[in-house]
Chains A and B, each alone.
Chain A
Amino acid sequence: MTTSTISPKIIENFDLYAPKLVSKEEFFSPGHRACQGCAEALAIRLMCKALGRDTVITNATGCMEVISSLYPTTAWNLPWIHVAFPNAASVGSGVEAGLKALRRKGRIPDKRVKSVAIGGDGGTMDIGFQALSGAMERGHDLLYVCFDNEAYMNTGIQRSSGTPFLAATTTAPAGKVIPGNQVWKKNVMEIMVAHNLPYVATASPAYPIDFMNKVKKAREVNGPAYVHCLVTCPTGWRSPSDTAIQLGRLAWETGVFPIYEVEDGKYRYTLPVPEKRRPVEDYMKGQGRFRHVTPDQIKVIQERVDVEWEALRLKVENSQSRTEIRERLKK
């Protein structure tokens, strides 16, 4: 697929990273307490490499806060603040506004320090949603990265609005009558697109270069940006800890989690699109949380994925950036 971009706001061909060019500097250091095979810790590490030194991290309550900061150690080589569950985006907004004010008054060196807020799916899509929407609406120079492992893993695998249909969790248990989670995953991407953000993207640490490019691109945006990162959780997904990357790739190859970006309103795939999508079963069968799902139920999920995939394809094919639309209207 094409990777060219027409939006003038952002550097055009952004294939900045190649494995050899990735910084060796670690801003998220090893020795933290994440579970074996945690894709979220990997994603944070990659994100920090792409963000670089001039970054302030605001971390909502969640796994990453717990595993990275156990007394007397910290995994963070960046300024890091852990806040309450609902308001990482609000504190990130305050940090950004405060830095701006200090720069204006000449109290701190005149260089751009990026305020980055991070949270899990619960802290972003449920309890932190109001704060996220507010921060994006106010237009702060803020990057929000959601690390979506599809349930409240920190408190022991309770369902969130990121939990997929029929997945078993401790508050959506799979029983004889009710087979797991009864609602579809919330599409936060579309909600963020509806905020008219300059840059919105989905990503996965299974495609590290793509993910880092997106974080870097989002960092360069002078305004609000949102990156939604699907991260495998072997503990919560009941999957072997050596399959984190494999499952991440299958999520894209089956179309369960499409990887794309929306820049100035223009949708674009950022990875080579598979000629033929694999059946969703390939993605689900490696995960214990879907163990109870019957072939008939898989058909329902497959149908939904097909429809959503087609809806996205149409957007990729037909959407135009605001700049394009503006110029077309001028003519």
Chain B
Amino acid sequence: MGGQVKFIQGNEACVEGALYAGLGFFAGYPITPSTEIAELLSARLPQKRGIFMQMEDEIASICAIIGASLTGSKSMTATSGPGFSLMQEALGFAVMAEIPCVIVDVQRGGPSTGLATKLSQGDVNQARWGTHGDHAIVALTASNHQDVFSITVDAFNFAETYRTPVILLFDEVLGHMRERLEIPQPGELPLVERLKTALPEGVDYHPYLPREDGRLPMSDFGGVHRYNVTGLFHDMWGFPSENPSIVYGLMRHLTDKIEHHVDDLTRYKEYYADDAETLLISYGSSARSALHVVMNRRQRGERLGLLELQTLWPFPSELVREKAKNARYVVVVEMNMGQVLQSVKSAVDRPDKVSLANQVDGTLITPTTILNILRIIQGRGV
């Protein structure tokens, strides 16, 4: 540490993280509460010889970053719920064509226009299953600006490592709240650069032929190699194929490259989780309230703990099972109707001990609300 200190919004922290990670191209469309990301990058990116493009809608935005990413730029777009819905088709394309890119969803209340200026965490399952067809996806989140910064860097690293779109699920409170951010020195956080093919011009390049370690070297699209990119099932040359063994092989590859690296992809924080009688599981801005409850109750000797998830997809089932093993109560604190709750229930040994403490009225769940719900769960009355 010891870098520049700023007092900024979460959206700005995301911008700082993206620039730190080497963002070269941003395409976006205004939508509350994510607009600040586009606004800041419209000024900051050209100064770094990067490209900022405002598109005519979110479909165009994600498609533009797919195109730009193929040509060799680290690319990102930012939106909120309605825009994220529009992006789903192209998100599936990025999964299928294995194009590294980062999609920021600063969540607001939904469905539809919903609560344009209020928060929710209702897009967790949309991030997982919004686009059609079987696929694996990476979705990350954070609860404070320092973590927003570092998880944004992680998002770019994962995108490049696994050649996959990565979704950052922030929310309105996180995006607009101001707090301290200390920007790490260059080199302090590891950066994964694009793995480029070593093949020279004139040698056949296979865009979808994994190396031994499973990574796929890329060649800048429009550069020295001529190759095919498609959203159809394709072989190692990128040409469409309906051959069942190729279709099956690609489906396995797309799933396994994520699901077999859950350990590497998992980011989390824990507070007194090991000896917790009541374990709270939370993420994003609701984890701030949960953390307050834990710290407060620990001082009074109550055995509360918090597991703060930063990787939501692929869901860290092993981790959750392990941490929840000795807890008498497991309470998922989130601001939706129980989206992570379902994943936690299917991960733990005894689903009946898992409860939900949620709030879905567009305002941040408070420590008092969590405490009241805890009293009910623990059978102590309100």
Give residues in A with beta carbon < 8 Å to B. 61, 66, 82, 84-86, 122, 126-127, 129, 152, 155-156, 158-159, 161, 170-173, 175, 177-178
Contacts and interface: CB of A to CB of B under 8 A. Distances in A.
28 contacts: A61-B113, A66-B116, A82-B113, A84-B113, A85-B57, A85-B82, A86-B86, A126-B56, A127-B29, A129-B56, A155-B30, A155-B35, A158-B30, A158-B35, A158-B38, A158-B54, A159-B54, A161-B56, A170-B39, A171-B38, A171-B54, A172-B42, A172-B54, A173-B39, A173-B43, A175-B43, A177-B46, A178-B46
B42 A170 contact: yes
Interface size range on B against A: 20 to 34
A305 B116 CA distance: 38
B4 interface: no
Given A84-B113, A170-B39, A171-B39, 13 more contacts: A85-B57, A86-B86, A122-B30, A126-B29, A129-B56, A152-B30, A155-B31, A156-B39, A158-B35, A161-B56, A170-B35, A173-B39, A177-B46
B369 interface: no
Contacts of B28: 171
Contact of A126 (B39, B57, B86, B112): B57
Nearest to A155: B30
A103 to B, nearest CB: 29
B161 interface: no
Contacts of B54: 158-159, 171-172
B85 to A, nearest CB: 9
B32 interface: yes
Interface in B28-55: 28-32, 35, 38-39, 42-43, 46, 52, 54
B113 A171 contact: no
B129 to A, nearest CB: 21
Closest 5 interchain pairs by CB? A127-B57, A126-B56, A158-B30, A155-B30, A171-B42
Q: Is the interface of A mostly helix, strand, loop or mixed?
A: loop
Contacts of B39: 156, 158, 170-171, 173
Contacts of A170: 35, 39, 42
Nearest to B38: A171
B86 to A, nearest CB: 8
Given A84-B82, A84-B113, A173 B42 contact: yes
B30 A156 contact: yes
B139 to A, nearest CB: 24
Q: Is the interface of B mostly helix, strand, loop or mixed?
A: mixed
A156 B35 contact: yes
A85 B42 CA distance: 23
Contacts of B57: 85-86, 126-127
Nearest to A122: B30
Interface in B93-141: 112-113, 116
Contacts of A175: 43, 46
Contacts of B30: 122, 152, 155-156, 158, 171
A178 B86 CA distance: 31
Contacts of B38: 158, 171
Interface string B9-41: 000000000000000000011111001001100
Contacts of A159: 54
A164 B149 CA distance: 35
Contacts of A158: 30, 35, 38-39, 54
Contacts of B42: 170-173
Nearest to B57: A127
Q: Name, among B32, B43, B52, the residue most crowded by chain A CB atoms within 10 Å (CB to CB).
A: B43
B140 to A, nearest CB: 25
A174 to B, nearest CB: 10
Contacts of A126: 29, 56-57
Contacts of A155: 30-32, 35
Interface in B67-84: 82
A179 B39 CA distance: 15
A86 B113 CA distance: 12
Contacts of A172: 42, 54
A100 B116 CA distance: 34
A159 B29 CA distance: 9
B46 to A, nearest CB: 6
